[in-house]
Structure 1
């Protein structure tokens, strides 16, 4: 699969643009194998571990072949849990960024009335749990007669949870003129029987061999962060740990460039590597890193392939990788030759479930660590300065400064002088202008906002989230429930995002209407 690009697989231009925006440089094994086969029209059984990029493997070709059908859904994806339904839907929203495709996740634990209203307005693709989908079918809300794609994701998990009867009932509601895609980590007899009963005779079985995922010599930790604090969190971690040699991984080429620029501006000895750089550039950067002339290397997964550098003390996942295999490859850059290594991963609350999947597949424990406080940084730097002073006192070099120290002794207390010198050193070693002692991902209280746009303006959650992001620098994880009514909308947002939204969004035009935003006086 080496050197295959997404552009080689036959996907539509809109989908390729979205994949490029997501920052994926090349397909995972399952994606490279499965996408062309789905595009050719075959039913597919895809066997691969969780965390290998299966959502994109079926989502990209299905969205590439999308054809609308008068408000009736043309694709349905069944998942075993609501958490996975949300995750799959979020991924598909990103993949369909440049396409006019309406998606809806349906699952229990959320008011069914809201889902019914959305379905009646017309949905192209449904992502749901079997129980809720079946409930909506029985209420005559979902009509699957126009389904062109039926996808069963984590099929073995759905069978383990007792969904077999529900799944068969749903399949029978779909027309025969459909493409069936079944993805499963294992292939028990029940799956084989299901495939034989409901898939075409010429269906393709694609199995990706599970690679050994050894991470036994690596101490793995994660920091739960807020998106807006990602860079400061990294600086705090580096200021406390002071790694001598570290590789920092970003998901995108642009992410590498932006992080390198920010780190260099704060005095870090760092360079970047990604696929847009020439071979000579990459070789020169790698040579400097190997020779110890660079402390930090920021790289994408593709650019870092084949890097073999001894004594890398830390690997830091600034962004989560696309799949579990990439995670293992990344952290395998440390802990070489039976030495212990340290791997840190920065995750937002929404990314936490992906991290737990990685933990499950690698059969390892990724322990939580708190983002260092300013007090932690001070004590770490103090110990470091103290050790350097002690080492210097063991040498003779400092004695040429004794006459100068004697002069200072006449005017100042030498303890004060030593403290002043330590303060100068400390100030030069701090990389960020920290203002708060502690930062973290503690849950923020939500505030309900009232917006003067609604369904009549054709606003939807995707448009609203993009509007908040572009105008107020507010991210998806800072937004809770969104209730879009006919003439206005209620949105729950994190406390820290309220002032930015009111200040930067009020008066702007959204869907052709001048928007007013204010704190809601009541629930509705």
Structure 2
């Protein structure tokens, strides 16, 4: 596929403005292939892995075609879980930033009266889970008879969770002249039957092949951060690791410019690269990075394409990319020539789902690391200064300074003099005015309800295995387990609760389908 830009896709000017404002430089493969087909008015079946940018693939052309002034609902997007409904709604809100489009996420666990009130005021796009959408249809508080678009997202997961009858009922209540968009990571028979039954005969199939990409030579870690601490977290990591050569990735052009400015202001030897820069400027920056006269290169995915630089010790994802394949391409910049590389990712709790998608895609484990404390930074700097001093002594390269040291010895203790000099070096090498010894995310535990208990012959070992197999959450991330007669409560960190809710809910354990929910209150 030849490289194309969003500008080539004939999107509505307001949609293009929003995408440009988000800083995306070019579409992912599923976006480049789906958008023109949807704009032409075709039904489509898009088969692509989770995390390849499917929301924008259907959202951008859909928003380009619907009429904001319509009083009826123009589009319905069905998702298997409340977490995905919120995620899709947030993404569509960003794409519709410059349009007068009203969106509403509808899912269980939220007061239905509030949703009814919003629907009465008038909504253009609804993003919802099948169960709650059906509730509204039965109450006649939701009318799908005039929708222009019906999108079924993560269709295979939806059907795997037993929603086939709900989905069929929703489809039957929808405008028969709608445009139907179905996206699925896999294409089991159930999905094919659904498509053949309810989609038009001219439906276009778009399949994005899953690349087999390996990351064996790269050690992968992530730091869980608060958004406001992103830059300070990066500085702490660089102060402890002191990479010899690192590429730092940002998702947007503006992000590159802002990060480079912040890093240069704190004395880092860094320059940036992105698509708005001239070819000569980019080549000059790349040359300096290759020659070693730059320690850090901050870049977008597009600008980094084709970069072939030996001895890059670290790749740092300051922002996670918009799709999983970009992650693999990024970290492939290190760990070359049979050398081990290190890849770090800065991840907020809201981005944890994408991190799990990356792990699944790469078939690798991304280990968690704690953001360095000031004490750890001091220890790292001390060792570095100590090594430098030992090197100067071993090379006998200090004779010119003996007279000054002798003079100071007459007035001060030489240990105090040496400590003062080390402090000067330490302060000079420190990049950030750190205020607190430690920063980062404190793990708040969440209590989950499982609809299975002692009467089902359940043990903690069986439950841990079930959670691991369905959601890839490891045993060490699971806290207290209270198994009662008919149900079970499990404590997990908040950052993994959404993963278990999305991945484990509705799956079978010992031939019984298990319901997983947030516990309403702690049971004793």
Given the two structures, how large is their TM-score scaled by the length of structure 1?
0.83
Quote the residue 2:185 is aligned against.
185
The secondary structure found in structure 2 opposite 1:61 is: helix
Q: Aligned-pair distance for 1:407?
A: 2.0
After TM superposition, the structure 1 = structure 2 runs for residues 321-360 of structure 1, keeping only pairs within 5 Å, are: 321-360=321-360
- In the alignment, the residues of structure 2 paired with residue 17 and residue 213 of structure 1 have an alpha-carbon distance, to the nearest angstrom, of 33
Do the aligned residues in 2 keep the contact of 1:71 with 1:121 (CA within 8 Å)?
no
The secondary structure found in structure 1 opposite 2:126 is: strand
Of 21-30 and 338-347, deviating more is 338-347
After TM superposition, the structure 1 = structure 2 runs for residues 116-265 of structure 1, keeping only pairs within 5 Å, are: 116-265=116-265
- In the alignment, the residues of structure 2 paired with residue 96 and residue 23 of structure 1 have an alpha-carbon distance, to the nearest angstrom, of 15
Quote the residue 1:378 is aligned against.
378
Of 426-435 and 216-225, deviating more is 216-225
The count of residues paired between Structure 1 and Structure 2 equals 445
Do the aligned residues in 2 keep the contact of 1:69 with 1:146 (CA within 8 Å)?
no
Q: Deviations over 1:391-439 (max 9, x none)?
A: 1111121133223222222211111111011001001000111111111
Q: Deviations over 1:285-307 (max 9, x none)?
A: 11110111110000011000000
The secondary structure found in structure 2 opposite 1:46 is: strand
The secondary structure found in structure 2 opposite 1:83 is: helix
The secondary structure found in structure 1 opposite 2:316 is: strand
Query: Cα–Cα, structure 1 residues 66 and 101, in superposed 2: closer, same or farther, change >3 Å?
Result: same
Q: Aligned-pair distance for 1:70?
A: 5.0
Question: What are structure 2's unaligned runs of at least 5 residues?
Answer: 445-524
Q: Aligned-pair distance for 1:3?
A: 2.5
Q: Aligned-pair distance for 1:97?
A: 0.3
- In the alignment, the residues of structure 1 paired with residue 131 and residue 72 of structure 2 have an alpha-carbon distance, to the nearest angstrom, of 20
- In the alignment, the residues of structure 1 paired with residue 120 and residue 292 of structure 2 have an alpha-carbon distance, to the nearest angstrom, of 62
Quote the residue 2:319 is aligned against.
319
After TM superposition, the structure 1 = structure 2 runs for residues 393-432 of structure 1, keeping only pairs within 5 Å, are: 393-432=393-432
After TM superposition, the structure 1 = structure 2 runs for residues 387-466 of structure 1, keeping only pairs within 5 Å, are: 387-442=387-442
The secondary structure found in structure 1 opposite 2:321 is: coil
Question: What are structure 1's unaligned runs of at least 5 residues?
Answer: 445-524
- In the alignment, the residues of structure 1 paired with residue 375 and residue 351 of structure 2 have an alpha-carbon distance, to the nearest angstrom, of 28
- In the alignment, the residues of structure 1 paired with residue 116 and residue 355 of structure 2 have an alpha-carbon distance, to the nearest angstrom, of 32
Q: Aligned-pair distance for 1:108?
A: 1.2
- In the alignment, the residues of structure 2 paired with residue 51 and residue 169 of structure 1 have an alpha-carbon distance, to the nearest angstrom, of 28
- In the alignment, the residues of structure 2 paired with residue 362 and residue 138 of structure 1 have an alpha-carbon distance, to the nearest angstrom, of 43
The secondary structure found in structure 2 opposite 1:76 is: strand
- In the alignment, the residues of structure 2 paired with residue 289 and residue 92 of structure 1 have an alpha-carbon distance, to the nearest angstrom, of 38
Q: Aligned-pair distance for 1:213?
A: 2.3
Q: Deviations over 1:206-226 (max 9, x none)?
A: 101111221122111111212
The secondary structure found in structure 1 opposite 2:137 is: helix
Residue 82, structure 1, aligned to residue 82, structure 2:
yes
Do the aligned residues in 1 keep the contact of 2:68 with 2:100 (CA within 8 Å)?
no
- In the alignment, the residues of structure 1 paired with residue 185 and residue 379 of structure 2 have an alpha-carbon distance, to the nearest angstrom, of 47
- In the alignment, the residues of structure 1 paired with residue 362 and residue 225 of structure 2 have an alpha-carbon distance, to the nearest angstrom, of 23
Q: Deviations over 1:461-495 (max 9, x none)?
A: xxxxxxxxxxxxxxxxxxxxxxxxxxxxxxxxxxx
Do the aligned residues in 2 keep the contact of 1:78 with 1:127 (CA within 8 Å)?
yes
Query: Cα–Cα, structure 1 residues 130 and 252, in superposed 2: closer, same or farther, change >3 Å?
Result: same
Quote the residue 2:293 is aligned against.
293
The secondary structure found in structure 1 opposite 2:398 is: helix
- In the alignment, the residues of structure 2 paired with residue 42 and residue 368 of structure 1 have an alpha-carbon distance, to the nearest angstrom, of 44
The secondary structure found in structure 2 opposite 1:397 is: coil
- In the alignment, the residues of structure 2 paired with residue 138 and residue 359 of structure 1 have an alpha-carbon distance, to the nearest angstrom, of 40
- In the alignment, the residues of structure 2 paired with residue 69 and residue 100 of structure 1 have an alpha-carbon distance, to the nearest angstrom, of 8
The secondary structure found in structure 2 opposite 1:336 is: coil
Residue 363, structure 1, aligned to residue 363, structure 2:
yes
Query: Cα–Cα, structure 1 residues 258 and 380, in superposed 2: closer, same or farther, change >3 Å?
Result: same
CA-based RMSD: 1.4
Q: Deviations over 1:246-278 (max 9, x none)?
A: 000111111111111111111111011111111
The secondary structure found in structure 2 opposite 1:338 is: coil
Quote the residue 1:35 is aligned against.
35
- In the alignment, the residues of structure 2 paired with residue 3 and residue 216 of structure 1 have an alpha-carbon distance, to the nearest angstrom, of 28
Q: Deviations over 1:140-175 (max 9, x none)?
A: 111110111010101011111111111111000002
Q: Aligned-pair distance for 1:390?
A: 1.1
Quote the residue 1:305 is aligned against.
305
Do the aligned residues in 2 keep the contact of 1:273 with 1:304 (CA within 8 Å)?
yes
Quote the residue 1:57 is aligned against.
57
